[in-house]
Amino acid sequence: MFLPQEIIRKKRDGNVLEAADINAFVRGVAADEVSEGQIAAFTMATYLNGMTSEEAVALTRAMRDSGTVLNWKAFNLPGPIVDKHSSGGVGDVVSLMMGPMVAACGGFVPMISGRGLGHTGGTLDKFDSIPGYQTSISIEKFQQVVRDVGVAIIGQTAELAPADKRIYATRDVTATVESIPLITASILSKKLSAGLDALVMDVKVGSGAFMPTLEKSRELARSIVEVGNGAGVKTSALLTDMNEPLAPCAGNAIEVRCAVDYLIGKSRPQRLHEVTMALSAQLLVTAGIAKGVGEARQVLTHCLESGRAAECFAKMVTALGGPADLLENPRKYMPVAPVIKPVLAMRSGFIAACDTRRVGMVVVALGGGRMRAADKIDFAVGLADIVSLGMHVNTGDLLAMVHARTEEAASSAMREFEQAITISDLAPARLPLVQMLTE
């Protein structure tokens, strides 16, 4: 007989669970036979006692199999099924470019993206800011667009990894989010339900990262690589810097305009370009599309310069209901905020530090993110022209442009943004932008 409390007891007492225990528990979660209290007890026991890698693999597989797992065999695609995932950040617009770039290089990218969480932006919210673009579509249509275009970026559907939805909701209100095996299984179960051959994980490090320290970020990256490979998907990870916004902007429509400018070659901000290329190259190598990072970077550069990546993005937008000429006319379609105000430096010196979490919260407070899950987003608002760490500014120089709905919201955002930036006489130490995961 299935008794969830016996499985919880085993984990509470520090024992290792069998895959059969974990399967039974997760099946019970998906079938509503396990109560919220039992999920809370299980996740707290896991939070306190951890899991072996085998247990985390079993949990990931069980959560993935709690719903539909996409099967691509019937499509006979000429390339591997691949994806990326980021642990979340501010101005992290990489997915918008990387999906089409990897598709243009021969990968097939069924990307199921999430909404903004806390201070971080969400790829799903960014696509929702494109008029007409449908992020909520059937699995059949999703697979068709991936087959025809090479990439489709949509939101989570109820069919994929439903056990994660219940477990995550309980973790959120029981102080059990910050558990490496639970985070690993949550992220991977959703990603792996797309039927992937290869995945690259971008784990952020720094003041705007989800994990609080470099060591914790490394631990999460190692766990994802080990469990992803253990669950049968070629998985690799890079650690990337989030001690300042990745793009020089943050906010949904503003970031879409930045991605369009990047793809058409109008503007490729250096940090954003480097991280996008590093993750894309890593994925091409992990998936076996390129033999090494050097070759991968050459192919990616060609796909960008020839316009093929931009073409993939345009085709995806059109196939999912967005404007056919978004790339030619992004400013015609993307909403623009009515109040645009500069934040100016109050003193001269070097941009020495950025509280990136606080910058993310400026965007949330402007209405560009959610305070409560049910909140509606104002797609137009956010920050643009954000200064970079290490830059020298004089008094009165621009630190960022605030895009707001009202004068009051702009004033408050200007004050908050200024507080998030430290200007000092000393130039800050240069931090690595991309780090390989070493054992």
Q: Residue 61 and residue 16: Cα distance in Å, rounded?
A: 17
Least distance to ligand URA, CB of residue 177, Å: 6
Pairing of strands 109-113, 151-155: parallel
* Cβ 39 to ligand URA shortest distance, Å: 13
Q: Which amino acid is at 220?
A: L
Q: Report yes or no: 41 and 6 within 8 Å, Cβ to Cβ.
A: no
How far does Cα 98 stand from its chain's mean position?
A: 12
Catalytic-residue membership of 83: yes
46, 95, 120, 186: which is the annotated catalytic residue? 186
Catalytic residue among 11, 165, 190, 315: 190
For the CA atoms of 44, 45, 51, 54, the dihedral, rounded to the nearest 10 degrees, stands at: -110
CA 159 to mean position of chain CA atoms: 20
Note if 348 is an active site residue.
no
Q: What is the DSSP string of 314-325?
A: HHHHHHTTS-TT
Residue 216 is a catalytic residue: no
Token pair for 32: 């509503």
Strands of 434-436's sheet, edge to edge? 82-86, 198-205, 234-241, 434-436
Instruction: For ligand URA, give the closer residue by CB, 101 or 161.
Output: 161
| Catalytic residue flag (residue 123) | yes
Kindly state the smallest distance separating residue 253's Cβ from ligand URA, in Å.
Answer: 24
Q: What's the min distance (Å) between Cβ of 224 and ligand URA?
A: 11
**CB nearer to ligand URA: pick between 184 and 435:** 184
- Write the DSSP symbol of residue 75: G
Q: What is the 3-state secondary structure (H, E, C) of 237-259?
A: EEEEECCCCCCCCECHHHHHHHH
Minimum Å gap between C-beta 9 and ligand URA is 24
* Sequence-separated (6 or more) residues with CB below 8 Å from residue 147: 75, 77, 108
Catalytic residue among 11, 61, 64, 85: 85
Q: Which of 11, 126, 166, 191 is catalytic?
A: 191
Report d(CA 130, CA 429) in Å as an integer: 38
Intra-chain end-to-end CA distance of the chain, in Å: 42
Is 190 part of the annotated catalytic residue set?
yes
Q: Minimum Å distance from CB 172 to ligand URA? A: 9
Catalytic, 141? Answer no
How deeply is 270 buried, as exposed, middle or buried, from its count of CB atoms within 10 A (0-12, 13-18, 19+)? exposed
Q: What is the C-alpha to C-alpha distance for residues 309 and 294, in angstroms, rounded to an integer?
A: 19
Name the residue whose CB lies closest to ligand URA.
186
CB closer to ligand URA, 102 vs 187: 187
Instruction: Name the active-site residue from 65, 83, 241, 378.
Output: 83
Nearer to ligand URA, 80 or 181 (CB): 181
Chain residues binding ligand URA by CB under 6 A are 168, 177, 182-183, 186-187
Residue among 51 and 258 whose Cβ is closer to ligand URA: 51
The pair of three-digit structure tokens given for residue 113, joined into one six-digit string: 């993206």
Least CB distance from residue 222 to ligand URA, whole Å? 16
**Choice among 11, 84, 204, 257 that is catalytic:** 84
157 is an active site residue: no
The answer to whether the beta carbons of residues 408 and 356 sit under 8 Å apart is: no
In eight-state DSSP terms, residue 275 is H
Smallest separation (angstroms) from ligand URA to the CB of 183: 4
Output 168 or 313, the one with its CB closest to ligand URA: 168
Between 59 and 359, name the residue whose CB sits nearer to ligand URA: 59
Pick the closer one to ligand URA by CB: 47 or 313: 47
Catalytic residue numbers read: 83-86, 123, 171, 186, 190-191
